[in-house]
Every structure is written in structure tokens, then in C-alpha cells.
Amino acid sequence: MTDPHETSATLCFLSAEEILKRLEGGAVTSSQFVDTCLERIAALDAGGTEIALNSIAAISADARAVARERDEERARGVSRGTLHGVPVLIKDNIEAVGLPGLAGSTALVGRPSRDAGLVTRLRDAGAIILASTNLSQWANIRSPRSTSGYSASGGLVANPWALDRSAGGSSSGCAAALAAGLAPLAVGTETDGSIVCPASVNGVVGLKPTVGAVPTTRVVPISASQDSPGPMGRSVGDVALLYSVLAQSTQPGTVTVPTFAAVTNWRTGHPLTDELFDNVLAELRADGLSIIDREMALPKDQEYRDEGVVLFAELLDDLSAYLGERPGSGVHSLDDVIAYEDQYREREQTYFGHENFITAVLSGGRGGPDYAEARQRNLAWAVDTCLTPGLDGVDVIIAPAYGPSWKSDLVVGGHPGPSSPATMASAIAGWPIMCLPLGLVEGLPVGVAVIGRAHREWTIIEAARRIEGIVRRHHALPSPRWSQPTRG
């Protein structure tokens, strides 16, 4: 089935860079563009429509008013910054005045939202906060049986490439909305895989920056050591533009061609995905990029256990602290959340429970008996055993990210599809990782992960630009064709 709204697609699939050119040249106004985005959301996203992606959690009530204000400022020759008049989506675990900031839970309904630090940066740069996006509830930390993209407050996000397939998680709505052309830019969050996964399976670009590069104030937390908000878009250039605002960082004037290590033993296990990665590697080398093959450490059971211990302990402390200081009445600790979800079990635990929340409470937090040693062991593995030797003599590591998206299954559980271990070490270390499209496998997008050293985002972005240019020449990635349910 072709896109039923081809006219809006002509404008909505433009890059943010091209939109800015048209805004500055007077070819389109911010009001016209926001109207087009909102019309497309109404036609393609909401329940009961012919598409019903369900990627949008709430629309900003002032989006049109802010767009008019940006147009008036532009007419007077005033520009607030590099995103003047461009609409941006934010994941609904990020607070913004006028948006719910629910993290997918009805427990936070009615609690006033303030502007997160990153939202202030967006507004200061002239961006229009268009809407918030649905996500995996509590950013996918609640249960080992959770279904990616599902939340009690927002329902299940669909993948625009195949509506019965998962949009990944936990930044599900961000990636699905971008792939569907509902807005040019979005801000997701990642603890371990929550930007990279949805970027990969929706065929968009996402960057998890170094932990601390983008402020996490007034962002519903999981783990201070691993949480990072990050930019998402449909091109590397758009992600770079948004990153520069979020991190208040500019690309260095001198740009060198990065050197690469391709990880030979980080495979998805999906034959066609891994074959496509190998083919792209050959094309990158043929184009002159310096790429060596390298084996890297693989996580074992101990690493997975240690990461779980760390995440659950930090979740108990960090989420309770956040809930305690957010305005309004209601849940003010993780214990309160558990009690609330038990009281309203029919709507909060319809498909899966909160086993991980219970584990977190029993952990005792950072002061518990297991946290310190687990964190020390986990960090030593990620930095000393894995990333430092993996990056020896090169600028970035590349590996396939995820195989094609799996079918969503609320009854049985999430069943994430084939993936490599590419996100884990950088997540534990708090180092940056980026994902961009490799191409299509049986009509579904797959991505490549690009990993670098802490605070070397611009090197990663430059490496991704090089990959993107070559991939686009050899492996065209069209817009989603709004597929009906798929086989397999």
C-alpha cells in the first residue's frame, strides 16, 4: 500500500537542513510546516485512522502559536538559533510544559511537567516542541516480559514499515514518527539500546551521546551511570544539527577521515543482515576507507548479571528521587509505583508485570550489598577488556546492530529479534554510540552501529557521514510503504 498522503509526504520527508533553507528563503513558513505535520499526524497516527501508528503521545497545545511567533520573528530578521522554526518531537519521559511526561505510566497522569534542561536548550535555539512520543513503559525497565513500544498510557506503537512489526524500544514512538514523516527531528533516551534499537528497525538515525553530554534534569530516570538523551533524525546531518543544540557543541573546524575497526565476532545471527553488513564493508573499503578487522570481547553471563545489578540499584535510588521532587500528588517512590500498579492492575499490568521493580526495591540501591562490586566489575569489563583494546589504533568501531524487526506480541511478550552485542559495552561505560541504516532485508530496515571514545561524538558523526554517503549510493532506503501484516 502506498502512502495515502503523498502531498504532505513531499514536505514532511525533507531533511531538517532543507527545511531550514526553505524557511530562510521564504518558500514555506513554520506555521505551514507545523500545520502539515499536525495534519499528517491526525491522518496517519491516531487510533481509528487507516494507518494508526500510535507513535504520538500528546500534541503541544501551543505548537501553532509558537510557529506563528517564529514566523513573525523571522519576518523582523530575528533568529533565535540554529533550529529557528523547526518542529521537534520529544519522548514522553522528557518533561516539557504543556506535555504529560508520563514515561508510559498512568501513575504520573496529572503531575505538572516543567521544561527539562534539554527542552530549554531546544526552545532557546528556536525549535518548536511539536508533540511527545509514546514509548516502552518506564523505558522498558519494568519487566523481562515487556513488549517494546507498549505502555499503559499510550498503547502499542507500530512500525511504519510493517504495521504488525515492533517499532523497537524504548524510544519507539520517536523512531516510528520519524520514519513516517510526522516530524523531521526527535529526542529519545537510551540506557542500553533504547535509541539504537528503534533507529535500526525503523530505518532512521540515532545517537546516544556520552553520558552527561546532554542534561538529564527532569527526564524520568533509570540509571545515572547509563542514561543519556540523544538526537534522532532521518539523516546523519540532521542528527548532527540536533546534537549541536542538545549538547551545546559545535563540530571542530578541521575534519579528518576516521579510521575504522569492523568487529568480526559481533554478529546479529541473522544471516541476511550479517551478509549485508559484510557487503557494505567491502563497499566502504573499495571507496578508500581504512577498515581493519578485529575481534572484541563478548559479554558473558557475569557481565549481564552485573549490568542488571547496577541498573536495578540505580533505578531504586534515581527514580525514587525523581518522583519525590516532581510537583503534584501521587507516587513519590518506587514502592509507591509498585503499590499503584498493583491497585490498578487491570490497566497497568494487562500484559506484563513489574518484576524488575520488585527486584530493584530488594536490591537496597547503591548502598546494597552487591552494587559496588558489580559496578566496578562491569565498568572494568566494558572499558578495559572491551572498548579500549577494541579502539586501539582506530577512531571508531562498527558492527551490525539489529536484524529486521520482529512481530509484536502482547500476549507472549517482547521477543526482541536478532541483535549483536554492540550496545552493551558503550552503555555500561557511558560512551557514545550511533546507529544509521544499512539498507533493507526482506523489505525491512537494518542498521549499523558506530562506537567511539567518550566525548568523541563529532568523530562518530563524521564516520557515520562517510558510511551514509556510500550506503545511499549502493542500498537505497525508500520511505516506508505502509505495509500490511507480514509473513514470518
In three-state form (DSSP H/G/I as H, E/B as E, the rest C), the secondary structure along 31-85 is HHHHHHHHHHHHHHCCCCCCCCCCCEEEECCCHHHHHHHHHHHHHCCCCCCCCCC
170 a catalytic residue: yes
Q: Which amino acid is at 389?
A: P
Catalytic residue among 166, 194, 419, 426: 194
Note the pLDDT of residue 276. 97
Which of the following is catalytic: 113, 148, 166, 170?
Answer: 170
Report d(CA 384, CA 188) in Å as an integer: 28
Q: Tens-of-pLDDT digits for all 488 residues of the chain?
A: 344 444 566 788 999 999 999 999 999 999 999 999 999 999 999 866 666 899 999 999 999 999 999 999 999 999 999 999 999 999 999 999 999 999 999 999 999 999 999 999 999 999 999 999 999 999 999 999 999 999 999 999 999 999 999 999 999 999 999 999 999 999 999 999 999 999 999 999 999 999 999 999 999 999 999 999 999 999 999 999 999 999 999 988 888 999 999 999 999 999 999 999 999 999 999 999 999 999 999 999 999 999 999 999 999 999 999 999 999 999 999 999 999 999 999 999 999 999 999 999 999 999 999 999 999 999 999 999 999 999 999 999 999 999 999 999 998 886 678 999 999 999 999 999 999 999 999 999 999 999 999 999 999 999 999 999 999 998 877 777 654 445 44
C-alpha of 475 from chain center: 23
CA distances from 474 to 283, 314, 401 (A): 8, 44, 19
Distance CA 440, CA 460 (A): 23
DSSP string, 324-379: HHSSSSS--SHHHHHHHHHHTHHHHSSS---HHHHHHHHHTGGGSSSHHHHHHHHH
Contact 334, 360 (CB under 8 A): yes
**Sheet arrangement for strand 291-294:** 56-59, 128-133, 87-91, 185-190, 228-233, 205-208, 433-441, 444-451, 396-400, 260-263, 291-294
Q: What is the pLDDT of residue 87?
A: 98
What pLDDT score does 481 carry?
A: 61
Joined together, the cell numbers standing for residue 267 give 554478529
- CATH topology assigned to domain 6-301+375-474: Amidase signature (AS) enzymes (3.90.1300)
324-332 long-range CB contacts below 8 Å, 24 or more apart? 326/108, 326/111, 326/112, 327/111, 327/112, 327/114, 328/110, 328/111, 328/112, 329/111, 330/107, 330/108, 330/110, 330/111, 331/107, 331/108
pTM above 0.95, yes or no: yes
